[in-house]
Amino acid sequence: MLVKKAAERSVTEVRIVEAAVQLFARHGYKGTTTREIARLAKVNEATVFRCFAHKAELFWAAAESRLTRLKLNRELQTGLAMDFDPEIVLPMLVEFFMENISEDFELMRLLYVAGFELPGAKRMLREHLGPIFDTVNAYFQRCAARGAISALEPTFATLGLAGAVSAHSNLRRLFVGEDGPLDAQALAPAYAQFWLNALRRQPPLGNGDGNGNGSQSDA
């Protein structure tokens, strides 16, 4: 699927894409019409189809406009590449997921819509989210190899952390009844500590003295 890059779009196309983002995020792909998008963008429907050949192309342009914003900041990139300790990297990862995914309603909804309503979503999502997943996954794999975390399948750590943090805001609204944006900087340390405790190597069960010696003293 070929989608014109944002830098190459005209002012009218950008307005159409932004209108599409809002409506697709609120009503889904099938629940949104190009006429409604044209109305919100303050253009006629013929203009929409001059810019985008069909509705699916417009949806992908809308999704891509949000996905291209997902970038690891320099500090986090450095921490992952230089194998900083999980105590340093995990709070930054949690903050990244909270600020860029969990609290971005439009992006989360577009991801859901793409996954459930459109064929071919896997390729675009992989194109934009794959590099982030691969970078984080490789970091956890190296952490496990050097003993900084338990020797688990790295995708458990990567997907578990991303999924839990990304879903936190919606689940909080559903079960706790609290609304409003999360304070990522305040919550990141606690969330990171939770995952550090889960990922750290645990001592074998049955240790008698806490130092790996399970033998009992003679009576």
Is 62 in the same domain as 79?
Answer: no
pTM for the full predicted model: 0.79
Closest CA to 52 of 110, 2, 118: 2
* Radius of gyration of the chain measured on its C-alpha atoms: 22
Residue 100 domain boundaries: 74-199
**Residue for token digits 């500090």?**
75
- Distance in angstroms (rounded) separating the CA atoms of residues 93 and 87: 11
184 found inside a domain: yes
Is 25 in the same domain as 87?
Answer: no
Residue 173, SS3 per DSSP:
helix
Is 160 in the same domain as 140?
Answer: yes
Is 59 in the same domain as 164?
Answer: no
CB 48 within 8 A of CB 16: yes
Number of Cβ atoms within 10 Å of the Cβ of 110:
26
Q: How far is CA 160 from CA 97, 133, 155, 165, 200, in A?
A: 12, 12, 8, 8, 15
Per-residue pLDDT of the chain (219 residues; tens, 9 = 90+): 445 555 457 899 999 999 999 999 999 999 999 999 999 999 999 999 999 999 999 999 999 999 998 999 999 999 999 999 999 999 999 989 888 877 788 998 999 999 899 988 888 889 999 999 999 999 999 999 999 999 989 999 999 998 888 787 777 777 887 766 667 777 888 888 999 999 986 655 555 454 545 444 443
Is 86 in the same domain as 186?
Answer: yes
- Distance in angstroms (rounded) separating the CA atoms of residues 112 and 108: 6
